[in-house]
Structure 1
Amino acid sequence: MSATFTPLHRLEAWQAVPLLARRELSAVDLVRACLDRIAEREAQVQAFVQLGADAALATALELEAGPVRGLLHGLPFGVKDLFDTFDLPTAYGSPIYAGRQPPADAAAVALCREAGAVLLGKTVTTELANMFPGATRNPHHLAHTPGGSSSGSAAAVADGMLPLSLGTQTAGSLIRPAAFCGVVGYKPTHNRVPKAGVKSLSETLDTVGGFARSVRDVALLGAVLTGDARLADPANFEQAAAPRIGLCRTFEWAQAGDDTQQAWAQAEKALADHATPLTLPVPWRGLVRVQKEVQAFETARSLSHERLRYRELLSAPLQALITDGLAISGETHARNLRATASARQQAQALFDQHDVLLAPSTLGEAPRGLDSTGDPLFCRSWTLLGLPCVHLPFARGRYGLPVGLQLVGAPGDDHRLLAAAHWVHQRLRS
């Protein structure tokens, strides 16, 4: 694949990077191609809350006139409206903060700009990154949800508006929209990426990550966000050995729909020579409950200002979550935090005999309707454990929407996970 035969707005980031560095591809042309795609499709998909077209073109011109800045030189990117940006408003998907203009970038945004990325705009988030939907629609079928809470970021990448975008996950807000929109979603190891300047919901769970159309692309983004150059080392992808894969249906497998079950059977067949079943520790049956309680308790307290000053501007579902969180005692939360710490210590043992784990991402393809963002059930435990995850799209569901599975890595082994994900993704799509 090359820039000659691929529309510029569909060019993958890892393909564009060397062309931009050699000046064989103009950063201005790439930005304009993405802006043209946004103009063509935004009225239908509604992925953005704010565009910065003029500033993006000015930045692209500066990049063309100067030296190569970094791994993301000249690449357009979008930012979930949960991240502060000094030059575009940040409203957190809530009327409470409409028109709010931060004085500084979130750390993750600044890191991307420093590496040469060009900010095109702010993408839709659900209300305060919870479950109440925003305006975004699934680009594959506009009557279906794109997932959440990083809905706009996933949809924009899926529709060719952007090669890269930033999102966050507290339950399943990176992996689920990646699955529903059919893109690669990457949730790094917890606390590998700085969260400064991102609206906080849960210190225990919040994780910054991103979306792209290939594993190599999210690896570029991940290398910038984590500062770990190993994530984007070409040798990881060109010389990757077959990983030892643990097949982990999880304790929630009974709730998987036909679409996920069929994708699982397809993956088992494709990876049969390199995969063996893995059983999770029995005490982990309660991890989904623990994750829900930790999220509710910490979100209720993180949003204390909004609850006390602007409760009438909060949606009914978010008010209900806050009420549930306030009903959880500090003693219960302390017990849940101990259980989380214990499970995270035990997690390393999962990788004694396996390099990565294959697990479901969602119950199935994106549900029809826009009044819900879908169930994050299959993401909750991995988020609680703080493990790095990559969603890999490779199949289609009953109604033709994307379906895939996620790979889970050992804590801190994001570079090995991404190398394995590239290897696995090639075989699942062949």
Structure 2
Amino acid sequence: MGCMQQLTKPAWTKEADIQAFAWTAPEPAPDAQAQAQTGQTLPLAGQTFGVKDVIDVQDMPTQFGCAGMPLQHRTWDATVVAQLRAAGALPVGKTVTAEFAYSAPGPTRNPWNLAHTPGGSSSGSAAAVAAGMVDFALGTQTGGSIVRPAAFCGVVGFKPSFGLVHRQGMLVTAETLDTIGWFTPDIASSAQLLSVITQSAPLLPRTPKKVAWAAALPGLLPEMQHLLAAVKKTLHAADIAVQDMSAQQHVLDALAHVHGLTVRYELARGMLGIASDHGHLLSPNLQNVIREGMAQDTASYWMTQQQRHALSHTWLHAVGDAELIIAPSTYGPAPVGLGTTGSSLPNRPWSVLGWPCVHVPLVCNAQGLPMGVQLIAKPAADADLLAMAQSIQALCADSAMLQGSACISA
């Protein structure tokens, strides 16, 4: 699929157009340079990465996508950054985030077409990887902030199981939702990062025997429907059993509703101190969300969490022995315009469940914009998810049905 090859324009010459970075280091620190020269046995030796600007990096500022915040350099790394640095990787800058990782977009543009959104809130991280500026980048997801920009920018976006990656050094606003993940050019690189962070051995690609098909989301654009239909035919041709989950769409709808109630309550309290001291710097929309969230009482919040727990059990039972869930990452390719980052509705159920998800890029549409699918596994099956994702992507790459689909560029 030639359209999905990495952009070939030289790295860093595109930053003025794409604006993926909020802050960049003038050059790697001397100790990091020495590490890159002497630590060739380290698993990530010499690889460069960007860090979403809600995660701390030593000697770099964290401004949370809010330009008025004081420019104070951090004195130590977030845990995940320290893990990656110890493995030989070099953080080169802070990537643009939507305001406090919520909804107000930053200046980043989509590398495939500058007139289109890169998604959000991890917009800069996805765009920097898509443009070849870094080897990988860290992001965070509360609703769809990793999977959606990965889909719009045509890269692999991995959201681990909730709690798998330590959040020390990250601004946590939604306590039971916020998850650190990453963007890579391919699935093998994502699996390598998972291996480094969890201190586990990467798994070889393997093909699932049975998948659950959760693609009954209303409002999908025709080209996304065509792509999903081609993927399903490809699975059938490979003798992979496909379990239709359309009768359970109401469970996913209910989970998405629970997500909305949960994120408002938790974000309002997570942002309360910032709003008290720097409220004048926040956008009107974020101020509104904080007010609405503070108006939710704790008893209602706990009732919502009980519903969340019950829905999780219902969905787990419905999935049964399926090893993998396949769902749309987005409604379609990246929309035109930079005023919003697109809808996170296709991603919210999986975030509120806390299950691991990965966006797998597959094709480009007739306008040259990337498209793909979202794969989800059961809790703590992160390595299995990436192992199966490699096989699914390989099957689709060889599929005559996808090559003949109307959503594939000539």
Same fold (TM over 0.5): yes
SS in 1 for 2:341: coil
* Cα RMSD after superposing both structures: 2.0
Q: Which residue of 2 aligns with 1:174?
A: 146
Map residues 23-102 of structure 1 onto 2, 5 A cutoff. 37-38=11-12, 40-55=13-28, 59-66=32-39, 68-69=41-42, 71-102=43-74
Does residue 1:268 correspond to 2:232, yes or no?
yes
Once the two structures are superposed, the pairs formed by residues 108-123 of structure 1 within 5 Å of their partners are: 108-123=80-95
Q: Counterpart in 2 of 1:184?
A: 156
- The alignment's TM-score, normalised by the length of structure 2, stands at 0.90
Which of 232, 235, 243 matches 1:277? 243
Q: What secondary structure is seen at the aligned counterpart in 2 of 1:377?
A: coil
Asked if 1:380 is matched to 2:356, the reply is no
State, as a whole percentage, how many aligned pairs show the same letter.
Answer: 37
Question: Matches of residues 129-168 of structure 1 in structure 2 within 5 Å?
Answer: 129-168=101-140
What displacement does 1:423 show? 0.2
* Structure 1: tracts of 5 or more residues without a match: 1-5, 11-33
Alignment check: 8 A CA contact 1:247 1:275 kept: no
Q: Distance in 2 between matches of 1:255 and 1:57?
A: 52
Within a 5 Å distance, the mapping from 1:346-357 to structure 2 comes to 346-357=314-325
User: Number of residues paired by the alignment?
Assistant: 390
Matches of 1:364 and 1:100, distance apart in 2: 39
- How far did 1:346 drift? 4.0
Higher relative helix content? 1
Structure 1 residue 351: deviation in Å? 4.5
Task: Name the structure 1 match of 2:407.
Answer: none
CA contact (8 A) 2:158 2:181 kept: yes
1:23 is matched with none
| Match of residue 385 from structure 2 | 417
Q: Secondary structure, in 3 states, of the residue corresponding to 2:346?
A: helix
Normalising by structure 1, report the TM-score: 0.86
Amino acid at match of 1:286: A
1:210 aligns with 2:182: yes
Matched position secondary structure for 1:224: helix
Q: Secondary structure at the match of 1:197?
A: coil
CA distance in 2, matches of 1:168, 1:120: 18
**Cα distance in 1, alignment partners of residues 35 and 330 from structure 2:** 42
**Where do 5+ consecutive residues of structure 2 fail to align?**
399-410
Q: Which residue identity does 1:274 align to in structure 2? A: I
**Would the alpha carbon gap of residues 89 and 352 (structure 1) be closer, same or farther in structure 2, given more than 3 Å must change?**
same
1:356 corresponds to which letter in structure 2? L
Q: Does 1:244 align with 2:210?
A: yes
The AA in structure 1 aligned to 2:25 is G
Cα deviations by residue, 1:341-396 (Å, 9 ceiling, x for unpaired):
23334444345321101001101111111110000010000000000001011122
**CA distance in structure 2 between the aligned counterparts of 1:119 and 1:173, rounded to whole angstroms:** 21
Change (3 A) 1:116 1:376: same
SS in 1 for 2:14: helix
8 Å CA contact 2:147–2:157 kept in 1: the answer is yes
Deviation at residue 109 of structure 1 after TM alignment: 0.6
Tell me how far apart the structure 2 counterparts of residues 186 and 43 of structure 1 sit (CA, whole Å).
Answer: 27
CA shift, 1:145, in A, is 0.4
Partner of 2:402: none
**CA drift at 1:55:** 1.9
Kindly tell me: are residues 119 and 390 of structure 1, through their superposed partners in 2, closer, same or farther at Cα, counting changes over 3 Å? same
Q: 2:25 and 2:301 mapped to 1: Cα distance?
A: 42
